[in-house]
Amino acid sequence: MFMRKDAMAAISHQWPAEGLTRVPYWLYSDSDIYEEEQARIFRGPTWSFLCLEAELPGPNSYRRSSLGAMPVVVTRDKDGTLHGFENRCAHRGSLLVLNESGEARDIICVYHNWSYDLAGNLTGVAFRKGLAGKGGMPPHCRPEDHGPRKLRLETLSGLVFGTLSAAAPPLEQYLGAEIASRIRRVMRAPVKLLGGYSQTLPSNWKLYMENVKDTYHASLLHTFFTTFRLNRLSQKGGIVVSDSGGHHVSYSFAADSGGKEYEQAGMRAAQEGFGLEAPQLLEAVDEFGDGIGLQILSVFPTFVLQQTRNSLAVRRLVPQGLDQTELVWTCFGFTTDDEDMTERRLRQANLIGPAGYISMEDGAAPGFVQRAVTTAPDLLSVVEMGGASVASDDNRVTEAAVRGFWKAYRGLMGM
């Protein structure tokens, strides 16, 4: 009799014997996997980036964010303390907060006006005692026990992270010393918001995170990059992979070694460069004093901190299904910036975002994979640049950071 895929899938869902150098394609197209990730990763013992502290400017303010697909609210109460909780009412489960952000002393659910303080505590139940002695809620009923799940919050240099899990280690420990110091390097002063935008990615969330951690593609996919020699693998630089594998840093120095490996390799990316008519686009200053012109940093599962010359941004992902993900960008400078520096950051913002000279391809490439591998669920992706290593390295022709992602992923998914 006809043998059903369900059964077959259950059998085939074993990680390949090769380990981290191979990734099975069913991970991107199985809807059960997607649901599992929401529970085990995003609602599990991981820290998700929620927003910048600067996005909650004053007391009695709130903004929406998410823990994977789960909607959450981040608030700053009247004493300036930050709180985070699920955006779900204790009563019938309505969203508690509808606006992206705003100011409020308390939160009132629109559906039946149950009220909450900014810590997410249920403080009022409309007509709890009924009306004129009739109706209302029995004394033994404890709706407070069904309140929105509260997040543990920790902030690092103005970045707000949250988790639902008591089992998650403290944030600094989760990040490790090197990642934390690389975050501090960028977040060196109070943040001034410059603006934001989002992209809808036609792919599974993991494909975008792999792209971020994939130091191998940078100079090959982004040919503006290479053509204008803004960055070449031949430039000095390297990667850092955290012990957990889940976090990484990729960096390179601004100076160009002038290597000719590209021309020798004779690859598409090596077509001879032409000059910009308006080179001021790239005019940058070494604001961090260490000569590093590019630093891409990721924190498992879905956070990115980016320094592209003087253009700074944080990104976070919101999974919206098996093959759709929202990418949220927030660009910033520092309150200490003068006008020229702000203008510089805005000009260099031409390099990033959905229209960015060196980032537009990243919006599409994960989708190219999604479309090709859905009909190859039982085949394997090859992740063996730099061997099987998941360690830090002083070169970027490696997929160590991608393997690191899968190391952390497998641990959490129990695969």
* Amino acid present at 345: R
User: Tokens 């895929």 label which residue?
Assistant: 5
Q: How many residues bind a second copy (CB under 8 A)?
A: 95
Tell whether residue 165 is a contact of a second copy (CB under 8 A): no
Q: CB 89 → ligand FES: shortest distance, Å?
A: 3
Do the beta carbons of residue 383 and residue 23 sit within 8 Å? Answer: yes
Residues that bind ligand FES (CB under 6 A): 89, 91-92, 94, 109, 111-112, 114
Tell whether residue 36 is a contact of a second copy (CB under 8 A): yes
Q: CB 340 → Fe ion: shortest distance, Å?
A: 28
Q: How far is CA 404 from the centre of its chain?
A: 16
Tell whether residue 136 is a contact of a second copy (CB under 8 A): yes
Cβ proximity to Fe ion, 82 vs 369, nearer residue: 369
Tell whether residue 199 is a contact of a second copy (CB under 8 A): no
Among the candidate windows 74-82, 243-251, 264-272, 278-286, which touches a second copy by CB under 8 A?
A: 264-272
At residue 342's C-alpha, the angle toward residues 339 and 343, to 5°, is 85
Do the beta carbons of residue 107 and residue 94 sit within 8 Å? Answer: no
Among the candidate windows 54-62, 179-187, 284-292, 373-381, which touches a second copy by CB under 8 A?
A: 373-381
Interaction residues for a second copy, span 66-105 (CB under 8 A) = 68-71, 86-96, 98
- Strand, helix or coil at 45? coil
Q: How far is CA 40 from the centre of its chain?
A: 17
* Amino acid present at 118: L
Provide the sign of the torsion angle of the four alpha carbons 275, 278, 282, 286, taken in this order. positive
Tell whether residue 367 is a contact of other proteins (CB under 8 A): yes
Cis peptide before 139 (omega within 30 of 0): no
Beta bridge mates, 304: 298, 315
Nearest C-alpha neighbor of 43 from the set 221, 162, 136? 162
Q: CB 217 → other proteins: shortest distance, Å?
A: 11
- Strand, helix or coil at 161? strand
* Amino acid present at 401: A
Here's the x/- map for Fe ion, 350-389, by CB under 5 A: it reads as ------------x---------------------------
Cβ proximity to ligand FES, 12 vs 113, nearer residue: 113
- Exactly one of 256, 281, 393, 411 binds a second copy (CB under 8 A); that residue is 393
- Exactly one of 265, 276, 285, 355 binds a second copy (CB under 8 A); that residue is 265
Q: CB 217 → Fe ion: shortest distance, Å?
A: 6
Q: CB 341 → other proteins: shortest distance, Å?
A: 12
Nearest C-alpha neighbor of 75 from the set 88, 89, 93, 57? 57
Q: CB 160 → a second copy: shortest distance, Å?
A: 20
The answer for residues whose C-beta is within 8 angstroms of residue 362's C-beta and 6 or more apart is 208, 211, 212, 221
- Strand, helix or coil at 348? helix
Q: CB 84 → a second copy: shortest distance, Å?
A: 15
Cβ proximity to Fe ion, 61 vs 348, nearer residue: 348
Cβ proximity to other proteins, 145 vs 277, nearer residue: 277
Helical spans, DSSP H, in 62-119: none
Do the beta carbons of residue 42 and residue 67 sit within 8 Å? Answer: yes
Nearest C-alpha neighbor of 55 from the set 359, 271, 328, 365? 328
Cβ proximity to other proteins, 242 vs 310, nearer residue: 310
Give me the count of residues in the chain. 415
Among the candidate windows 54-62, 136-144, 174-182, 268-276, which touches other proteins by CB under 8 A?
A: 268-276
* 302: its two tokens: 């879905």
User: Tokens 């099987």 label which residue?
Assistant: 388
- Partner in contact with 109, chosen from Fe ion, other proteins, ligand FES, none, beta carbon below 5 to 8 Å by kind: ligand FES
- Partner in contact with 354, chosen from other proteins, ligand FES, Fe ion, none, beta carbon below 5 to 8 Å by kind: other proteins
User: Which residues bind to other proteins, rule: CB under 8 A?
Assistant: 98-100, 110, 193-202, 221, 223-224, 227, 271, 274, 276-278, 281, 326, 331, 342, 346-347, 349-350, 353-355, 357, 360-361, 363-364, 367
